[in-house]
Chains A and B, each alone.
Chain A
Amino acid sequence: MAREVTSPLDVDRVRKDFPILQRRLAGDHPLVYLDSANTSQKPQPVLDTLTEHYTRHNANVARAVHQLGEEATAAYEGARDTIATFIGAPSRDEVIFAKNASEALNLVANTLASGLADDPRYRLGPGDDIVITEMEHHSNIVPWQLAAQRTGARLRWFGITDEGRLDLAQLDELITPRTKVVSLVHQSNILGTLNDVALIAARAHEVGALVLVDGAQSVPHMPIDVRELGVDLLAFTGHKMCGPTGIGVLWGRSEVLDALPPFLGGGEMIETVAMEGSTFAAAPHKFEAGTPPIAQAVGLGAAADYLSGLGMAHVNAHVESITAYALNMLADVDGVTIIGPDSPVDRGGTISFTLDGIHPHDVGQVLDEHGVAVRVGHHCARPVCVRYGIPATTRASFYVYTTTDDIDALADGLERVKRFFG
């Protein structure tokens, strides 16, 4: 049946920017890539920037007086400016490059747990609460479990409703004056749910707690302005937003970054080193020990430029329209149950579902044989599967290059899966 989709993006043109989308897979199937929440594909300008960097400007940063060193440093620090603008950071010094979102989240958990901060507000210990949610990626659960173990702080979490939303009924009971840090996902990578970060941040700030947001899934998909988000720290990852792997970002308010102690020790994060002790550089360099992922940061800058060129509001609107279309199509496939919000309201372009009586592994395998790439499993969010009493889900996720044809291929593929195992 024909369903109208209006999108502000010229998807056919966008698709031409992504060479991999021309690939033919085994069996001469065209690629139907529905795994962008896992990692996005890369547009030509990002690929060109990486090649250009390595072929013309390669040198280490911040420690060479030669011309290439200056070019590489300018490119690396230029990427910081680009990212600062991309997320509305008041200062470029608030943008720290890390290896990925996981490292950025670990940076915060570890520095708070280290006990090295001068200001007790930045030291976790017995009597303190850490608050997370049941819909976190493992990257925002495990670092806090470790931090709690190390410091004697207590880990608490918001549950999830049957509809796939955070259960905020206990907001004031969960976030209390004992709470030192609240860390939550902006958009769930398994349920697609978009959380009301501002509401939770407001309560957290009322009690003087820090708020860290995992933006791994939201920053690639919607306009983000950290000043409006009203949080203290934001982590995200380059490879899900058209950038290379090996690069992530932690943004933090200057005051917070100044108060946190260093994370890793090494070159370039110091002011002066003596055998008796060291003093440290100011943020962001305080948190960037060793040779950073230079080309990757430059590539991420190119990715942010590419997305800004499309317009993040357009990116968001496109994914929203594809998501609405996909929710409708999936509702028509017998045996499909959506795990997570089943309406396009306050949700992103990531849809998890089960297919009656057929294990997600088998679903994904048969889809793959027809060129349809989805992710199957618990998506590094096992507690969510446990919450819904399922071992795993099949997950389709969308981005700037996703078309309604891709969704139709998914729906057809699911019918084939049912015939195959029927």
Chain B
Amino acid sequence: MSDSLYQEIILDHYKNPHGRGLREPFDAEAHHVNPTCGDEITVRVATDGATLNDLSYDGQGCSISQASASVLYELLNGRRIEDAFAVEKSFVELMQSKGAIEPDEAVLGDGIAFVGVAKYPARIKCALLSWMAFKDALSRAVATTEGGSPS
């Protein structure tokens, strides 16, 4: 069982996280917690409205939540905004699939390793924590750049 949940890829990201640490400058920041287990993550995004110039994060939590943040960074940093949202949507779909969909490696990269996590209802929130914070931060950053200054 541990093999399907704790894929080697997940353990690798957990032990050697990519892009970890909060960086400046940034345009929006979101802090999310998982109230049942106390896992926390802060995600920052820097964007000019077209490209995600930086995605940085820091947090504490289980291997699943920490590895998933590392994968988030690896997949989305430097991407175009609409692509980032599309990948985010695809990852959320995967996590809500109960393990029933075949993940597309071309879209999700190392994210496909989380297909096993989708079969553990108690751990889905762990995998989604950083992604939800990211979506929150990016949506706010985009709203600010699009909204411009008042009047």
| Chain A positions near chain B (C-beta within 8 angstroms) | 26-27, 359-362, 365-366, 369, 376-378, 382, 385, 391-392, 420-421
Contacts and interface: CB of A to CB of B under 8 A. Distances in A.
B62 interface: yes
B106 interface: no
Contact of B2 (A360, A369, A377): A369
A361 B2 contact: no
A365 B123 contact: yes
A376 B37 contact: yes
B6 A420 contact: yes
A391 B38 contact: yes
Contacts of A366: 2
16 contacts: A27-B1, A359-B60, A361-B37, A361-B63, A362-B62, A365-B2, A365-B120, A365-B123, A377-B36, A377-B38, A378-B37, A391-B39, A391-B40, A391-B61, A421-B11, A421-B63
A392 B38 contact: yes
Contacts of A385: 38
**Chain A binding surface SS class:** helix
A159 B110 CA distance: 45
B64 A361 contact: yes
Interface string B35-49: 011111000000000
Interface string B16-37: 0000000000000000000011
A402 B98 CA distance: 34
A420 B2 contact: yes
B5 interface: yes
B106 to A, nearest CB: 30
Contacts of B62: 359-362
Contacts of B39: 359, 361, 391
B80 to A, nearest CB: 34
Contacts of A377: 36-38
Interface residues of B, number: 18
B126 interface: yes
Contact of B61 (A27, A361, A365, A421): A361
Contact of A359 (B5, B61, B120): B61
A391 B37 contact: yes
Contacts of A360: 37, 62
A380 B40 CA distance: 17
Given A382-B38, A391-B40, A361 B126 contact: yes
A421 B5 CA distance: 13
Nearest to B64: A361
Contacts of A382: 38
Of all A-B residue pairs in the complex, the 7 with the closest CB atoms, nearest first, are A361-B62, A391-B38, A359-B62, A392-B38, A377-B37, A369-B1, A362-B63
A397 B63 CA distance: 24
Contacts of A26: 1
A144 to B, nearest CB: 20
A357 to B, nearest CB: 10
Nearest to A422: B15
Contacts of A376: 37
Nearest to B36: A377
Contacts of B64: 361-362
A416 B2 CA distance: 12
A306 to B, nearest CB: 31
Contacts of B2: 365-366, 369, 420
Interface string B97-133: 0000000000000000000000010010010000000
B117 to A, nearest CB: 10
A26 B3 CA distance: 14
A391 B126 CA distance: 14
A270 to B, nearest CB: 39
B65 to A, nearest CB: 8
Contacts of B123: 361, 365
Contacts of B38: 377-378, 382, 385, 391-392
A391 B33 CA distance: 11
A391 B62 CA distance: 10
A421 B63 CA distance: 9
B37 A392 contact: yes
A281 to B, nearest CB: 39
Contacts of B126: 361
B93 to A, nearest CB: 23
Given A359-B61, A359-B62, A391-B60, A365 B37 contact: no
